[in-house]
A and B are shown apart, each in its own frame.
Chain A
Amino acid sequence: MKKIKLDITVNGVKHSLKVDPNLRLLDLLREELDLTGTKEGCGIGECGACTVILDGKAVNSCLILAGQCAGREIVTIEGLSDGEKLHPLQQAFLDHGAVQCGFCTPGMILSAAALLHANPAPTEDEIRVAISGNLCRCTGYTQIVEAVQAAAGKDKGDWWLQI
């Protein structure tokens, strides 16, 4: 298979790559860029574990080809914290016990981050809708929703600009 050229920005870092045209964004992140914080839970867009932020919007990276992301910006869970300083959502998930097995956590946090980016002060219903595509089997969601509510107050909405 002839490889295609791909220029892509991930977590603020520009990459020039040659990739298979059928490579999923998920596999690019996990296998080529070693960003394994993005998880695969179903591979067909039903669980949300592979959620990343593409040009400010939460997307399922299992449903997007790497080639579709040419010239675009991606944020994964590894790009959310400012060095050792956690993003308010990450801190809130930690403080509110919103993490159990942790496998859904990166996708859940990124869906919430995309929400706060678009809507810095969401209602509980807006939060529940925004993360309803992210399945969690451990927590029952209560502590996750509380964490997002807590972070919404603290996030100044400028994290996106820092990347």
Chain B
Amino acid sequence: MVPPVKDRDQGIGMTEYRYIGKRTPRVDARDKVTGKTVYSTDLYPDGMLRARVLRAAIPHGKILRLDVSRARKLPGVEAVLTHQDIPGHNGFGIVTPNWPVLCVDRVRYRGDALALVAAVDEETAEEALKLIEVEYEPLPIIDTPEEALAEGAVQIHRDGNIQHRMDIPPKGDVEKALAESEIVLSQTYRTQFMEHAYLETEGGVAIYDEKTGVITVWCGDQYPFRDQLQVARSLDWDPLKIRIIGSPTGGAFGGKDEISVQIHLALLAYRTRKPVRLHWSREESIVAGPKRHAMNSTFRIGAGKDGRLRGIDVQVVANTGAYDTIAGPVLNLALESSPGPYKYPHSRFRGLSVYTNSAMGGEFRGFGAPQVVFGLEQELDKLAGKLKLDPIELRLLNAVEQGDISALGHRLQTSAGIKDTLEAARKTDLWRRREEIKRDLAAAHPRLRFGVGVASEWHAVGLGVGLPDFANVTIGIGEDGGITLRTGAIEIGQGNLTAYAQILAEALECGIERITVIHGDTFACPDSGSVTASRSVLINGNAILNGVKKLQPLLVRVAARALDLPEENLAYGQGRVFSQIDNGRSLSLDELAARAAEFALPLQVTGAAVFATSDKDFGDGLPHNYYTYITQLALVGVDPETGEVEVRKVISIPEMGRAINLAGVEGQCEGGVVMGIGYTLYEKVAVEKGEFLTKGFSTYILPTTLDSPEQETVIVEKPEKSGPYGGKGVGEAPTVPVTPAVANAIHDAVGLRFTRLPITPEDIVAGLEGGER
């Protein structure tokens, strides 16, 4: 039988899939539930030393003297390193490498590293840290951008206190538009530093092999090939002799895209010629590692009485902490995210990222969007209130569609399903019957007040225009028919490996169990870019499909030789190569694999893909060409006596093109929602005068099972032609609009608006006693 011609448009039609859109169990789950998965912090090589890092004792000051001689003499100490022991560049940073590996003459925040110790055990390493003598000359401590920008403020870096400035070219004339608008809203929103709080803190092991000159670093990360370059740059080493094994990772959320222990480990392993292990304590992770930037965002929005948005002016000031890492792009994405998926004829977006001596701002799931969407979506609710319009109707009235010009001025070339998500939200029981639901709840719980809120977001997928945004994979079929997919991408928990296996199995029409995914190792995998920006399924998926296009002709060639038929009479389908002439003779993948080995024809291909980019280029990666669209609804109960807010239910309605793995999309939504609830109600890295007041989970409060609401995920599909089987990405969006959805629900419940996060019980009680805050 000749197989039916398979849908050639990458699955945009009505094809019934075997794996795509199913609840395929995760390929890594069995090892994770049995404890067999080996994380980088699970390695204890023989003869290993323990490392510790000396951190700054004050938040800001000159280093007058750094004396490690007593520590070096302590028995059991094998190395104490300072900045003098760094052969190459003393700095790291995803964009600008100005974050010192070890400080030279100045400390700029409490997480700054001054010296490294490697010793035979933890106690000796700890003891050695105490023997290091540091003399500081304290400098004024800057906590906030306001202080940093004040006249006469101490300059944190030689170039001043402004890290980055971004003005997106204005569209139209926003001042005129606001002056002519019948309704103008204006408000500033303030957000806090947020901790990633991955369960596995930063850590790993390094080994230097003197014979080969290779330094191997095992460290859970998000982009091993960038780590390889950053380690090589600081050690003045051949990058090809730095092996980074970054997968799997015990949670990352953006916080492990930057260097943490990698350079320190490599320096110590090289110096001591012994395996070295370094695993940050929870406190060290909170103090030293990057956080979600604290931002102040000021919105001015103009609209007509008809509810149509006329213009938006946004100014964002980010507290970026002491160094750059990736602060510029985070600010840029905050600006790009700030208008939301709505049409405005006039717009202006300006931002400033400012150095301080507070926590280190960095990359965090959402990447600048949660800070601004918190404000925008409350302003839209206020507008709906003034116009007495249903909040969903107001959003629908202004929502973009594919082909529209965005608020920023670029054409939305890819699938844009925000209207579909809003319409789905409008049809939910929670929205339609919300008054009745609130009434019933109030009858059952007379002490509490209930509210329902809605919010939406568009979330950029990919790095953006002008940035290297690619993935490479290799696909090989072994003699036994087993298929190996190699990708440099990291499994950080999101389930990308399973999505890749599903895509490959679907494309080859074979069983998924024959696929092994090898990942995240610079010596075993090609460079697939960073696992960030909700990008890895789209771009690795396309790379896999491009690889399959090269693999199928190889399989046809093997079949041609095995069956002694011309290649043009053979076709690949249903996991076999079929003859199209002599009554459908065919060879299975197993047979093809065996025959290929016999013919010495390697079944090995590479697949590559590059992101398609926007029609405009505003610089610095703006704007983007792909977005996840999402609407979320929240039902809250507020106790007016205690101020406590209970989020009772959240419905997430994402449009991510096509869902590759249903359970995976639900998992991203449910996890993102609870993370967003933490951001909204509990979580805050409190820093005063540069000192951290929250150093563990007794003061930094994470949501538990007792705080997680009932959840529902309603997936809206709008397959994107240029994505694998129509998929885009969904990793970040679900953690964003939940915050203003909850804030809008609180307003619906008690009539109060909050402009500062987190919204605490004290805020609510004070608000109820004294009117709006």
Q: List residues of chain A with CB under 8 Å of any chain B CB.
A: 30-31, 34-44, 46-47, 49, 76-78, 80-81, 86, 90-91, 93-97, 99-106, 109, 127-129, 131-145
Contact = CB atoms under 8 A, between A and B. Distances in A.
A141 B44 contact: no
Contact of A30 (B29, B44, B705): B44
B248 interface: yes
A44 B34 contact: no
Contacts of B35: 35-38, 76-78, 106
B666 interface: yes
Given A38-B35, A44-B696, A144-B705, 5 more contacts: A36-B35, A39-B39, A39-B250, A102-B248, A103-B493
Contacts of A105: 32-33
B706 A132 contact: yes
Nearest to B708: A141
Q: Is the interface of A mostly helix, strand, loop or mixed?
A: loop
Nearest to B664: A97
A46 B697 CA distance: 6
Given A41-B200, A139-B671, A102 B250 contact: yes
25 contacts: A36-B44, A37-B36, A39-B250, A41-B200, A46-B696, A47-B697, A49-B199, A77-B35, A94-B25, A94-B30, A97-B663, A97-B666, A101-B248, A101-B249, A101-B492, A102-B493, A103-B251, A106-B35, A128-B706, A135-B197, A137-B196, A137-B199, A137-B702, A138-B251, A140-B669
Given A103-B199, A103-B251, A139-B667, A131 B33 contact: no
A78 B34 contact: yes
B390 interface: no
A145 B705 contact: yes
Contacts of A78: 34-36
Contact of B38 (A36, A76, A100, A143): A36
A43 B231 CA distance: 29
Contacts of B199: 39, 41, 47, 49, 101, 103-104, 135-137
A90 B197 CA distance: 24
Given A46-B698, A94-B29, A31 B495 contact: no
Given A38-B35, A97-B667, A103-B251, A140 B674 contact: yes
Given A41-B200, A106-B35, A132-B704, A138 B493 contact: yes
Contacts of A42: 282, 696-697
A31 B663 CA distance: 35
A160 B140 CA distance: 60
B26 A99 contact: yes
B361 interface: no
Q: Which 7 A-B pairs have the closest CB atoms?
A: A37-B35, A101-B493, A103-B250, A102-B32, A77-B35, A140-B670, A97-B663
Most buried by A among B34, B39, B196, B198: B34
B673 interface: yes
A36 B42 contact: yes
Secondary structure of the B side of the interface? loop
B711 interface: yes
Contacts of A143: 663, 666-667, 670
B33 A135 contact: no
A135 B704 contact: yes
B29 A99 contact: yes
Nearest to B43: A36
Contact of A128 (B31, B250, B493, B705): B705
Q: Tell me which of A91, A105, A138, A139 has the highest count of chain B C-beta atoms within 10 A of its own C-beta.
A: A138
Contact of A137 (B30, B38, B248, B675): B675
Contacts of A101: 198-200, 248-252, 492-493
A135 B697 contact: yes
A76 B42 CA distance: 15
B338 interface: no
Given A137-B702, A140-B672, A102 B37 contact: yes
Contact of B23 (A35, A47, A97, A140): A97
A138 B667 contact: yes
B673 to A, nearest CB: 6
Nearest to A81: B34
A128 B252 CA distance: 25
B680 interface: no
B197 A86 contact: no
A36 B44 CA distance: 10
B292 to A, nearest CB: 13
A74 to B, nearest CB: 13
A42 B200 CA distance: 9
Contact of A100 (B23, B41, B44, B667): B667
Residue from B30, B37, B199, B711 whose CB has the most chain A CB atoms within 10 Å:
B199
A103 B29 contact: no
B281 interface: yes
B126 interface: no
Interface in B657-692: 663-664, 666-667, 669-675
Contacts of B29: 93-94, 99, 102
A80 B708 CA distance: 27
Contacts of A137: 196-199, 251, 253, 671, 675, 702
B494 interface: yes
A140 B675 contact: yes
Given A97-B23, A100-B494, A43 B30 contact: no
B227 to A, nearest CB: 18
A105 B384 CA distance: 44
Contacts of A97: 23, 25-26, 663-664, 666-667
A104 B222 CA distance: 19
Given A44-B696, A103-B199, A140 B708 contact: yes
Nearest to B34: A81
Contacts of B36: 37, 78
Contacts of B198: 101, 103, 137
A94 to B, nearest CB: 5
A49 B199 CA distance: 7
B634 to A, nearest CB: 14
B28 interface: yes
B696 A102 contact: no
B730 to A, nearest CB: 13
Given A131-B705, A136-B199, A140-B674, A90 B34 contact: yes
B623 to A, nearest CB: 29
B18 to A, nearest CB: 19
B201 interface: yes
Q: Name which of B29, B201, B282 has the most chain A CB atoms within 10 A of its CB.
A: B29
Contact of B33 (A34, A35, A36, A99): A99
Nearest to A127: B705
A22 to B, nearest CB: 9
Contacts of B32: 99, 102, 105
A61 to B, nearest CB: 13
A44 to B, nearest CB: 6
B675 A43 contact: no
Interface in B222-278: 248-253
Nearest to B23: A97
Nearest to B121: A20
A140 B671 contact: yes
A42 B286 CA distance: 11
A156 B35 CA distance: 23
Interface string B189-224: 000000011111100000000000000000000000
Contacts of B674: 139-141
Contacts of B279: 40
A113 B426 CA distance: 41
B732 to A, nearest CB: 13
Given A81-B34, A102-B32, A135 B250 contact: no
A77 B32 CA distance: 10
A113 to B, nearest CB: 12
A35 B34 CA distance: 11
A41 B493 contact: no
Contacts of B250: 39, 101-103
Contacts of A36: 35, 38, 42, 44
